């Protein structure tokens, strides 16, 4: 039933039913189960059409469908914290271990990345805030993903013109990590390399640096796999959201919450690699000043974890590869 088992549907309904049963100035709304069905159909197909209701034997107008999607999305967004929970410090070592199993990259608490969700032109002063580097309108969503593809935390409120690094620098997440109790994130070159957010070496020149970059890329890939899974499962996130920015953010948060809900209740897809989503709005490399502490810590990680002697044939293979480029 729209990616949910019947048991999962009933459990999800019980979480938000109180909001959906409330009276409003239009009288009693549709029964809560039908409201959730309408919203799930939209999330999974991206269709706003009133045929959604007709498929379930309901005679509903187009405005009713839109109001219902808004109502359910607001209800799920209000309870977002029940679905997306950042780990405690006592849970951090287990996450480090799970990430280490991916590519032997140490002390990783999460893979951070941003994904642009397309929206219609909001007009007014919001238009330029939401216009991204590709020229279309979007919400730039920062997401941290765990080793099992669950979302650990997300920020969904910045327009598409805002660069990835600025979202992170203004986040509570950065302040939490800087307390030093969680380990570090791995992120791409759109971020500044910091003590608690490690990025790739820009121009690797040694075997150790190349080994670091390979392990870093494999670990960071978890974020893009989660994005691909979300876009495949909730196809509204792969299409243009034709609502105001506030409602669009509620829809996105709802899909993030449901992603975690489905993973927890029904487990991950067997082939996560098949869901990899390339970046549709490539970010420029971070071009600000370097953080000496971050650069120093990255070199420490490279020296301690990736500088072990490699067989001579590895060096020869790398040199041959470089000579071909």
Q: What are the DSSP calls for 225-263, one per residue?
A: HHHHHHHHHSGGGGS-B-S-HHHHHHHHHHHHHHHHHHH
pLDDT tens column, 236-263: 999 999 999 999 999 999 999 999 999 9
H-state helical runs in the chain? 6-20, 32-45, 51-54, 62-78, 80-83, 92-103, 126-130, 164-169, 172-177, 207-233, 245-266, 292-305, 312-324
Residue 319 confidence (pLDDT): 44
> Minimal CA–CA distance to 276: which of 231, 325, 323, 219?
231
% of residues, the chain, pLDDT over 70: 83
Mean pLDDT, the chain, integer: 88
Residue 80 confidence (pLDDT): 96
Residue 272 pLDDT more than 60?
no
Residue 286 confidence (pLDDT): 86
Q: What whole-number distance in Å separates Cα of residue 117 and Cα of residue 139?
A: 5
| pTM reported for the whole predicted model | 0.89
Residue 26 pLDDT more than 50?
yes
Residue 310 confidence (pLDDT): 46
Residue 25 pLDDT more than 70?
no
Residue 165 confidence (pLDDT): 96
């Amino acid at each position: 039933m729209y990616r949910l088992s019947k048991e999962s549907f009933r459990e999800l309904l019980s979480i938000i039913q109180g909001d959906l049963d409330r009276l409003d100035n239009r009288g009693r709304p549709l029964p809560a189960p039908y409201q959730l069905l309408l919203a799930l159909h939209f999330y999974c197909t991206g269709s706003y059409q009133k045929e959604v209701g007709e498929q379930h034997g309901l005679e509903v107008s187009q405005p009713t469908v839109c109001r219902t999607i808004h109502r359910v999305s607001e209800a799920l967004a209000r309870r977002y914290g029940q679905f997306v929970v950042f780990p405690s410090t006592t849970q951090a070592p287990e996450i480090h271990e799970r990430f280490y199993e991916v590519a032997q990259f140490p002390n990783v608490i999460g893979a951070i990345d941003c994904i642009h969700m397309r929206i219609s032109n909001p007009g007014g002063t919001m238009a330029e805030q939401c216009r991204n580097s590709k020229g279309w309108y979007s919400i730039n969503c920062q997401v941290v993903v765990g080793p099992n593809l669950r979302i650990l935390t997300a920020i969904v409120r910045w327009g598409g013109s805002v660069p990835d690094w600025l979202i992170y620098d203004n986040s509570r997440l950065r302040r939490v990590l800087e307390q030093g109790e969680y380990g570090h994130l791995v992120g791409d070159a759109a971020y500044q390399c910091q003590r608690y957010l490690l990025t790739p070496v820009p121009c690797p020149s040694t075997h150790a640096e190349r080994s670091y970059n390979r392990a870093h890329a494999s670990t960071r890939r978890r974020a893009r796999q989660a994005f691909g899974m979300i876009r495949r499962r909730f196809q509204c996130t792969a299409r243009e959201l034709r609502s105001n920015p506030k409602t669009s953010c509620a829809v996105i948060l709802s899909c993030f919450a449901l992603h975690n809900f489905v993973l927890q209740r029904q487990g991950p897809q067997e082939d996560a690699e098949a869901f990899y989503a390339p970046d549709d709005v490539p970010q420029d490399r971070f071009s600000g000043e370097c953080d000496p502490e971050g650069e120093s810590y990255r070199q420490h990680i490279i020296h301690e974890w990736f500088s072990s002697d490699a067989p001579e044939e590895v060096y020869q293979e790398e040199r041959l590869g470089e000579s071909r480029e």
